[in-house]
Amino acid sequence: MEIEDNELTEGAVLPDERVATFEQVLEKKSNLELAETMATVCGIHIAASRVYLTILDHPHSTIAEISEILDRDQSTIGKQLKPLYEQDLVTRYPRTVSNGGVKYLHVAQSLAETTEWLQHELDRWTDATMTQLSRLHIN
């Protein structure tokens, strides 16, 4: 893409400069908080990330226990667990209770595995975003 000298105005940012600035932001991705990155890159709401971290700190918790720890309704916790199940960040295991019912115990994927998964997702997101940026045309 060519830009004529007379098309440039003071303070104008060239497309290549925008890409370079964006790449600098991405270089600092390690400084982003886990929950914010999961929300931005993977669509996992920050509240669901808190549920993940709670389960990580309290393995084999039931929804009732997670609800108590986070001071939220059990139905809310159940909704926030769905994307965590879908991404295999949390696994639930059935446990039969004395009255014949079943309770589910929750175990979070290790932080190391989640960090590796998140890095992979962030790389994919970055590649897709850079591809989209390279297709932008400035008139």
Answer CATH for 32-134 from 3.40.640.10, 2.40.30.10, 1.10.10.10, 3.30.1330.60: 1.10.10.10
Per-residue pLDDT reduced to its tens digit, 103-130? 999 999 998 898 888 888 888 888 888 8
- pLDDT, residue 25, reads 55
| Whole-prediction pTM | 0.68
Lookup: tokens for 73: 């309704």
Q: What's the angle, vertex CA 81, arms to CA 75 and CA 83, rounded to 5? A: 130
Is pLDDT at 22 greater than 80 in this prediction? no
Nearest partner of 62 among 81, 89, 49, judged by Cα: 81
Q: Express as a percent the part of the chain with pLDDT over 70.
A: 74
- Decide which of 3 and 88 is more confident: 88
Q: Which two tokens stand for residue 95?
A: 């446990």
Per residue in 38-50, pLDDT tens? Answer: 887 888 888 898 8
Identify the top-confidence range among 23-37, 104-118, 124-138.
104-118
* Tens of pLDDT, residues 49-81: 889 999 999 999 999 999 999 999 999 999 999
Residue-range domain boundaries for the chain: 32-134
Count CA atoms within 13 Å of residue 114 on its CB side: 22
Q: Which long-range contacts (CB under 8 A, 24 or more apart) does 109-116 make?
A: 110/56, 111/56, 114/34, 114/52, 114/89, 115/34
- At 73 the pLDDT is 97
What integer is the mean pLDDT of 22-38? 60
> Exposed, middle or buried, 102 (CB in 10 Å: 0-12/13-18/19+)?
exposed
- Is the pLDDT at 2 greater than 90? The verdict is no
